[in-house]
A and B are shown apart, each in its own frame.
Chain A
Amino acid sequence: MTQNVDEIFERICTLLKPFNKKDIAIGKDTTFSIDLELDSLTVMDMLSEIEDEFDITIPLNMLPDLETVGQFTDAVHKLLSE
């Protein structure tokens, strides 16, 4: 079952809620480090939750390339369609 990008984005946004301490509006350009103010450890924890939500393996190696929610969404989309 492949999902479209918008559905994936919505599910990621739901997962991000507990990490969105300042309750900012999340768009595809939202960055983890600057906008959401997440440190690298928190981003790794979030990555684990997204792995479980979508039942995929997201290699830690990809992390440096995933700065925005949009990039994350695209990565999950790609991993789901492989």
Chain B
Amino acid sequence: MTLDLFEKFDPILNDYNSLPDGAENPFTVSMEKVLSPTTAIINGRETILAGTNNYMGMTFNPECMAAAQEALTDFGTGTTGSRVLNGTYNSHKQLEETLKEFYDCQHAIVFSTGYQANLGVIATLAGPKDYVVIDTDSHASIYDGCAMGNATVVRFKHNDPDNLDKRLNRIRRDDPEAGILVVLEGVYSMLGDQAPLKELTRISKKHNAYVLVDEAHSIGVFGETGRGVAQEQDVEDQVDFIIGTFSKSVGTIGGYCVSNHPKFEALRLVCRPYIFTASLPPSVVASATKALELIASTNLRSKLLDNSMRLNKGLCDVGFNMGTTGESPIAAIVIDDQDTAIAFWGEMIKEGVYVNLALPPATPNRMNLMRCSLSAAHSFAQIDFMLEKFTLVGKRLGILQDKVASLTG
């Protein structure tokens, strides 16, 4: 009897098949039309987008769109090749120059996605004799970079400097010469908490480890010129590699790694997720370049954080159990059981608000989350609309109790 290769997926398929059909299924919903960074037509209804990671609202920025359209006309729809073959245009090099200026650093390499940047940099830098030390709540791309490489992988407790110290101590005790790469994130995407980079980098450096910080959710959002949490916490000189993505604040797609290591460019010769895939299309490169210039020169950060604080505070005030504090652009309601979370999501989409349903194992501590990511492009009126709908649905599902009635009169 031959084995069905798909048999192992039966448990997950069973779960999946028990979800509501079509319109109310969070994993098959599609946008019929996107009207702006914050609104779309979904199920024939105008819907406020409250979960898109479009922190700066760059997707419809007129300057970015014009740059992309010009590049599309002049250079076509795609490069059809790897960066090391026919896929490097002047604009790819210009984008890397822009990144160097943005981070005020020596080297920048652009990848086709942030996922591939983590995959490539982690798997390639840490070889068979080296160690990668990661936070337990790391993004999947970091875990996958570890799985793809040959280094010894060690985890430390989320954002816990003492726990990191303990693990680095052991590694050094057993192997004084080992190369060690500590991988951190500026902002953790589910609960929006920042890594305590001052402590974590100090401990890493004490043990002579390299530090990589993934700023996927913090570029544009934190730091005086929008470079992220390393800049915000004033530890950029302690960070050896910064990884980021163009798929959130920058409003398009692509990933990058920047560094001052003198031999950094070697990665172009050995990093397989950089070499064995096609480079970004010219229109994407053009809009990313323009967006980086805009992020460096305009300050949308305070507007974004004001929006987030308004939603977080409002949700907390009506009595939701919040996983976030409002100090990052994420607002996440913790829902006790998965079925209620799925139902909550369905009710919200019917009310015209799109949020992210985040379930284990993608969430820390097995939480079920209704996760919003705010945008600087949201108006206060839109935030208040979200609040109204969250409250309505919270009551409908019995999550918000009498306390609410008295608060809202």
The answer on a CB contact under 8 Å between A61 and B152 is yes
Q: Looking at the complex, which of A18-26, A38-46, A70-78 is the stretch in contact with chain B?
A: A38-46
Question: Which residue on chain A has the smallest CB distance to residue B156?
Answer: A48
Q: Cβ of B146 and Cβ of A41 under 8 Å apart?
A: no
Contact B167 A57 (CB under 8 A): yes
Q: How far is the CA of A45 from the CA of B171 in the complex (A)?
A: 19
Query: Contact check: which of B136, B166, B361 meets A40 at CB < 8 Å?
Result: B361
Instruction: Say if the beta carbon of B65 comes within 8 Å of chain A.
Output: no
Contacts A48-B155, A48-B157; is A60 near B136 (CB within 8 Å)?
Answer: no
- Complex contacts, B136 vs chain A, CB 8 Å: 44-45, 48
Does A5 make an interface contact (CB < 8 A)? no
Q: In the assembled complex, how far is the CB of residue B90 from the closest CB belonging to chain A, in whole angstroms?
A: 42
Report yes or no: B174 in contact with A57, Cβ–Cβ below 8 A: yes
Q: Name the CB-closest residue of A to B150.
A: A61
Cβ-defined contact, B361 with A57, below 8 A: no
Q: Is the interface of A mostly helix, strand, loop or mixed?
A: helix
Verify A41–B360 contact, CB threshold 8 A: yes
A47 to chain B, nearest CB (A): 8
A40 to B136, CA, bound (A): 12
Q: Is B387 located at the chain interface by the 8 A CB criterion?
A: no
Q: How far is the CA of A45 from the CA of B360 in the complex (A)?
A: 15
Chain A residues, Cβ within 8 Å of B174: 57, 82
Q: Number of A interface residues at 8 Å Cβ cutoff, please give it.
A: 15
B154 within 8 A of A: yes
Q: Which residues of B contact A82 (CB under 8 A)?
A: 174
Shortest Cβ distance from B155 into chain A, in angstroms? 6
Contact of B154 among A39, A45, A52, A57 (CB under 8 A): A57
Q: Measured between alpha carbons, how far is A56 from B171 in the docked complex, in Å?
A: 9
Q: Is there an interface contact between B361 and A59, defined as CB atoms closer than 8 Å?
A: no
- B263 interfacial contact with A, CB 8 Å: no
Asked if A65 is an interface residue, CB under 8 A from chain B, the answer is no
Q: Judging by beta carbons under 8 Å apart, are B170 and A57 in contact?
A: yes
Complexed CA–CA distance, A51 and B167 (Å): 9
In the complex, chain B residues whose CB is within 8 Å of the CB of A55: 170
Which chain B residues lie closer than 8 Å to A52 at the CB level?
166
> Contact partner of B153 among A40, A51, A61, CB < 8 A?
A61
In the complex, what residues of A have CB within 8 A of residue B155's CB? Answer: 44, 48, 60
CB pair A60–B361 under 8 Å, yes or no, is no
- Are B170 and A60 within 8 A (Cβ)? no
The verdict on B8 contacting chain A, using a C-beta distance below 8 Å, is: no
Q: Is the CB of A57 within 8 A of B152?
A: yes
- CB A56 to nearest CB in B, in angstroms, measures 7
Once the chains are docked, how many angstroms separate the CA of A51 from the CA of B136? 14
* Residues of B contacting A56 in the complex (Cβ-Cβ under 8 angstroms): 170
Q: Report the minimal beta-carbon distance from A50 to chain B, rounded to whole angstroms.
A: 12
CB distance from B401 to the nearest CB of A (A): 30
- Cα A59 to Cα B171 in complex, Å, equals 10
> Which single member of B153, B167, B170, B366 contacts A41 (CB below 8 Å)?
B366
Q: How far is the CB of A58 from chain B (nearest CB, A)?
A: 8
Most chain B CB within 10 A, of A44, A51, A55, is at: A51
A39-B361, A41-B366 given as contacts; is B171 within 8 A of A60 (CB)? no
Cα distance A60–B144 when bound, in Å?
Answer: 12
Known A-B contacts A57-B167, A61-B152; A41 and B157 likewise in contact (beta carbons under 8 Å): no
Contact A59 B157 (CB under 8 A): no
For this complex, 23 residue pairs linking A to B, each with C-beta atoms less than 8 Å apart, are A39-B361, A40-B361, A41-B360, A41-B361, A44-B155, A45-B136, A48-B155, A48-B157, A51-B167, A51-B170, A55-B170, A56-B170, A57-B152, A57-B154, A57-B167, A57-B170, A57-B174, A59-B153, A59-B154, A60-B146, A60-B153, A60-B154, A61-B152
The 10 closest A-B pairs by CB, nearest first: A60-B153, A59-B152, A57-B170, A61-B153, A41-B361, A59-B153, A57-B154, A57-B171, A60-B155, A61-B152
Known: A41-B361, A48-B157, A56-B170. 4 other contacts (CB 8 A): A44-B155, A59-B152, A60-B146, A60-B154
